[in-house]
Every structure is written in structure tokens, then in C-alpha cells.
Amino acid sequence: MPQHPAPEREFTMRFTSTPRGARLARRLVSHRLNDWGHPYTTPVNETLTLITAELSANAVRHGHVPGRDFHLQLTLAEGMFRIEVTDTRAENQVPSTPQAPDSASESGRGLLLVAALADDWGVAPRPAAPGKTVWAQLRVPTGGQARLHRHPGQDKRRPR
């Protein structure tokens, strides 16, 4: 794996490889970002929370090995957030370019969302153990606001 700059901030945790574990990962990342000065309704928090949700759900759905957890790491270094989700299943490889699912399919869009929201993303083999790490990076421009991906005609976020 390439060398990364020393993190300014870091959050690391293991989660059960269950839907509940994936939900908890998403919520804790959102809480941590809020604690780090990126409130819940900011683009940085919302974007990284969505990326975390997709990567965690994929780790549970496609990377699950009974009795083994998935690992999540969130770092901020030099104006770049990096989220890494590591599972223990080596045989289910992630495509380097996500394929668009059939229009009638109810799933299969997670990596398309990650690719659309992240500044960069990829997959690396897990060092010294079976499995893989799927990662995504999001640049935080000066002022703390991440780049937003909006649909044409969408002028502002609607309150929830």
C-alpha cells in the first residue's frame, strides 16, 4: 500500500460483520466528523457518512466471513479525508470500475455512488492476512467544505 502522510485526526474501530455493525459504523463516523468540526448537515459529513454506509454495507454483504469483523479507519491528513473498510474475504474482488446494474435491480449501485462522491477510491489486498481494503478519499478545500456532487437544477439542499 502507498505511504500516507501522518494523520492529523484518526478514528479506527472494528465492527461486527452484520447490518447492525454497518449501521453503527455509519453513525459513529458521522458523530466523529461532527466532533472534528464538520457538523451533521454539512456536505463533508453527509458525503463521508454516505460513503461509509456504502463501503460498510458492501463489507457485510460481500465480504462477510462468519465469526470475523470488518475494520474501519477514518483519517484526516493534509486536507484529505480517507475512509478505509477492510474485510476478511479475499475471493470476492471489487471491480476497479463499478458496473451499472440492470435498471430493474434493487441493488448494485453502492460503488457507483462511492465513485461519484469520492475524489478517488480503490481496492488494495489486505497485508499479511486474507481480505481486502476498499478505500475512498475526499478532499476538504479551505474553509472545510467538500466538493458537492449535485444534479442539474439542484440549487440547494433541502432541510430534512
What mean pLDDT do residues 118-138 have?
91
Instruction: Report the alpha-carbon distance of residue 87 to residue 55 in Å, rounded.
Output: 10
pTM of this prediction? 0.76
Confidence of residue 158 (pLDDT cuts 50, 70, 90): very low
144 has a pLDDT exceeding 50: no
Res 57: pLDDT:
93
Question: What kind and span of H or E run contains 50?
Answer: helix 43-62
User: First and final CA of the chain: distance in angstroms?
Assistant: 39
Res 111: pLDDT:
82
143 has a pLDDT exceeding 70: no
What mean pLDDT do residues 69-89 have?
94
Residues in the chain: 160
Instruction: Report the alpha-carbon distance of residue 77 to residue 96 in Å, rounded.
Output: 24
Sole residue written with cell 461519484 = 116
With contact defined as beta carbons under 8 Å apart, do 133 and 59 qualify? no
Res 151: pLDDT:
38
Q: How many helical (H) and strand (E) elements, i.e. helices and strands, does the chain have?
A: 3, 5
Name the phi and psi angles at 128, rounded to 5: 65, 15
Amino acid at 28: L
What mean pLDDT do residues 43-53 have?
96
Res 95: pLDDT:
57
Amino acid at 64: H
Cell of 41: 448537515
pLDDT above 70: percentage of residues in the chain: 71
56 has a pLDDT exceeding 70: yes
DSSP codes of every residue in 17-46? SSHHHHHHHHHHHHHHHHHTT--TTSHHHH
146 has a pLDDT exceeding 50: no
154 has a pLDDT exceeding 90: no
What mean pLDDT do residues 62-91 have?
89
Instruction: Return the number of other C-beta atoms located less than 10 Å from residue 76's C-beta.
Output: 21
Pick from 61-70, 86-95, 99-108, 119-128 the range whose average pLDDT is largest. Answer: 119-128
In tens, the pLDDT along 4-23 reads 666 699 999 999 999 999 99
30 vs 5, which has greater pLDDT?
30
Name the phi and psi angles at 157, rounded to 5: -75, 140
